[in-house]
């Protein structure tokens, strides 16, 4: 091919701009290596690979190479300017997989639905929908006559128990002095046991409506009217997504939740698994959750496969517990789950974009002393940006990993003159 017009056709106007600014093509920088998975990737240096494959790269077998004329002659600077980058064939697995629909759901262990435990009137609201709260935060204050009665019963029972204890101690002291009969002591013991049982019953009723020991210990010191105060508190940290009460509203025990709090730092991705795919799904398989655009939102592994098939959808559920600390996933959102179900054994692989068809044959471009030439290969499976190479390349062989389509296009231009004009 004519090198002069080849250069003019191959290089973009950006090369001429860079050359005009620098006065030297060697001053143009090669774009940064975009193949993060190929540590051996490097700029083309105009020489065959010398790390054990110099002979292969420089002089290809007739059975492996295309016609002698299938050759693109490029200098170092020309290759840089055209965005040509080389790397090496590597060994690795080609992961297979399937894609299934999935729905993002709340983690059931991170949802709190709070209902009143006593009847009362909403006297104060401390938080509303959309607020982010800490565990133990007070959400509302109820004024409850029912609670006031329970607390009063507890205080009365507490006083009765203390009196019964004092009476028992007095009778036991008198009995030791032979002043009173044993029957009086037994009677005092029975009275104390009854008072103690009444106190425990009153305490348990208060615990049942959410009153803890720390509140009971301070009942004697509360201000007037405070016995009627019932506080609604959150057992978890999270965000309030629903509040159904207003100031002055009367609520009762057993009503629908008046607050719903969720912690979405961890969510579930429930994957709908069709019957024909059940044999491929198992606990521990890696999963990528992706948008319709292909963007990966989160990664995880299958935590459980529920052993029930829905009668309506005829699908089973595979669940992924997903770290959602960045809140990219929203409960109710539908995504695509890419599940890695296995793959090929370890073999030679290259980036899929490095493979082009030259004269109808799958090929890659390999460096020569003064440019590049296509080399026939036999590709295998492809997945996740890589393609297995069954023959034509060995691990460590140099090839073009970026810019193969540019070189292919140049080969297809066969009408060039002589000369080399910059």
Judge whether residue 405 has pLDDT over 80. Answer: yes
Judge whether residue 116 has pLDDT over 80. Answer: yes
**pTM, 2 dp:** 0.55
Q: Which whole number is the average pLDDT over 46-63? A: 42
pLDDT in tens, 225-245: 678 899 999 999 999 999 999
The pLDDT, as a whole number, for residue 224 is: 64
The pLDDT, as a whole number, for residue 190 is: 96
Percent of the chain with pLDDT over 70: 80
- How many Å apart are CA 69 and CA 223, to the nearest integer? 100
More confident residue, 112 or 42: 112
Q: Which whole number is the average pLDDT over 171-192? A: 92
The pLDDT, as a whole number, for residue 66 is: 52
The pLDDT, as a whole number, for residue 220 is: 72
The pLDDT, as a whole number, for residue 226 is: 79
- Across 9-18, 32-41, 166-175, 381-390, the highest mean pLDDT is recorded for 166-175
Query: At 64, is the pLDDT very low, low, confident or very high (cuts 50, 70, 90)?
Result: very low
- How many Å apart are CA 232 and CA 145, to the nearest integer? 16
Query: At 264, is the pLDDT very low, low, confident or very high (cuts 50, 70, 90)?
Result: very high
Q: What residues does 353 pair with on adjacent strands?
A: none
Judge whether residue 377 has pLDDT over 90. Answer: yes
Q: Which whole number is the average pLDDT over 185-208? A: 94
The pLDDT, as a whole number, for residue 94 is: 76
* Contact assessment for residue 167 and residue 188, using Cβ atoms and an 8 Å cutoff: yes
Judge whether residue 118 has pLDDT over 70. Answer: yes
Q: Which whole number is the average pLDDT over 203-212? A: 89
The rounded mean pLDDT for the chain is: 81
Judge whether residue 53 has pLDDT over 60. Answer: no
The pLDDT, as a whole number, for residue 242 is: 96
- How many Å apart are CA 266 and CA 112, to the nearest integer? 14
Judge whether residue 356 has pLDDT over 50. Answer: yes
- Across 33-37, 250-254, 262-266, the highest mean pLDDT is recorded for 262-266
Q: Which whole number is the average pLDDT over 58-87? A: 69
Q: What's the 3-state SS for the chain?
A: CCHHHHHHHHCCHHHHHHHHHHCCHHHCCCCCCCCCCCCCCEECCCCCCCCCCHHHHHCCCCCCECCCCCCEECCHHHHHHCCCEEEECEEECCEEEEEEEEEEEECHHHEEEECCCCCEEEEEECCCCCCEECCCCEEEEEECHHHHHHHHHHHHHHHHHHHHHHHHHHHHHHHHCCCCCHHHHHHHHHHHHHHHHHHHHHHHHHHHCCCCHHHHCCHHHCCCCHHHEEEEECCCCEEEEEECCCCCCEECCCCCCCEEEECCCEEEEEEEEEHHHHHHCCCCCEEEEECCCCCEEEEEEEEEEECCCCCCCCEEEEEEEEECCCCCCCCCCEEEEEEEEEECCCEEEEEHHHCEEECCEEEEEEECCCEEEEEECEEEEEECCEEEEEECCCCCCEEEEECHHHHHHHHCCCCCCCCCCC
Q: Which whole number is the average pLDDT over 348-353? A: 91
Judge whether residue 293 has pLDDT over 50. Answer: yes
Judge whether residue 24 has pLDDT over 90. Answer: no
Q: Domains in the chain, start-ordered, CATH in brackets? A: 3-94+346-411 (2.40.420.20), 100-109+263-343 (2.40.30.170), 116-256 (no CATH)
Query: At 27, is the pLDDT very low, low, confident or very high (cuts 50, 70, 90)?
Result: very low
Judge whether residue 48 has pLDDT over 70. Answer: no
Q: What angle do CA 247, 250, 256 make, to 5 degrees?
A: 100
pLDDT in tens, 136-167: 999 999 999 999 999 999 999 999 999 999 99
pLDDT in tens, 78-104: 888 888 999 999 987 777 778 899 999
Q: Which whole number is the average pLDDT over 316-324? A: 96
């Amino acid at each position: 091919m004519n090198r002069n017009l080849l250069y003019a056709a191959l290089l973009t106007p950006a090369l001429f701009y860079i050359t005009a600014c620098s006065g030297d093509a060697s001053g143009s920088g090669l774009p940064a290596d975009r193949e993060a998975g190929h540590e051996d990737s490097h700029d083309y240096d105009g020489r065959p690979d010398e790390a054990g494959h110099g002979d292969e790269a420089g002089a290809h077998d007739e059975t492996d190479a295309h016609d002698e004329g299938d050759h693109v002659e490029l200098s170092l600077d020309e290759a840089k300017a055209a965005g040509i980058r080389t790397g090496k064939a590597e060994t690795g697995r080609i992961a297979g997989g399937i894609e299934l629909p999935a729905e993002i759901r709340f983690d059931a262990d991170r949802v709190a639905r709070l209902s009143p435990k006593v009847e009362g009137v909403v006297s104060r609201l401390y938080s509303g929908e959309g607020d982010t709260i800490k565990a133990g935060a007070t959400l509302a204050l109820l004024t409850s006559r029912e609670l006031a009665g329970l607390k009063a019963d507890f205080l009365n029972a507490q006083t009765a128990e203390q009196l019964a204890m004092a009476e028992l101690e007095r009778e036991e002291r008198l009995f030791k002095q032979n002043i009173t009969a044993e029957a009086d002591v037994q009677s005092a013991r029975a009275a104390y046991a009854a008072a103690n049982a009444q106190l425990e019953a009153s305490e348990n009723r208060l615990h049942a409506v959410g009153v803890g020991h720390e509140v009971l210990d301070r009942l004697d010191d509360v201000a007037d009217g405070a016995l009627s105060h019932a506080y609604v508190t959150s057992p978890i940290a999270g965000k309030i997504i629903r509040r159904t009460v207003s100031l002055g509203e009367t609520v009762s025990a057993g009503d629908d939740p008046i607050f719903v709090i969720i912690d979405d730092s961890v969510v579930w991705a429930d994957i709908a698994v069709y019957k024909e795919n059940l044999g491929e799904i198992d606990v521990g398989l890696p999963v990528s959750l992706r948008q319709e655009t292909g963007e990966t939102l989160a990664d995880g592994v299958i935590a459980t496969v529920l052993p029930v098939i829905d009668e309506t959808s005829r699908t089973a559920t595979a669940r992924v517990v997903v770290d959602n600390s960045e809140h990219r996933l929203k409960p109710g959102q539908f995504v695509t789950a890419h599940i890695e179900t296995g793959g090929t054994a370890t073999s030679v692989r290259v980036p899929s974009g490095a493979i082009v068809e030259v004269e109808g044959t799958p090929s890659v471009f390999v460096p020569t002393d003064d440019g590049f030439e296509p080399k026939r290969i036999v590709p295998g499976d492809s997945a996740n940006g890589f393609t297995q190479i069954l023959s034509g390349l060995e691990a460590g062989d140099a090839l073009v990993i970026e810019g193969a389509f540019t070189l292919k296009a140049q080969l297809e231009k066969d009408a060039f003159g002589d000369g080399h004009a910059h």
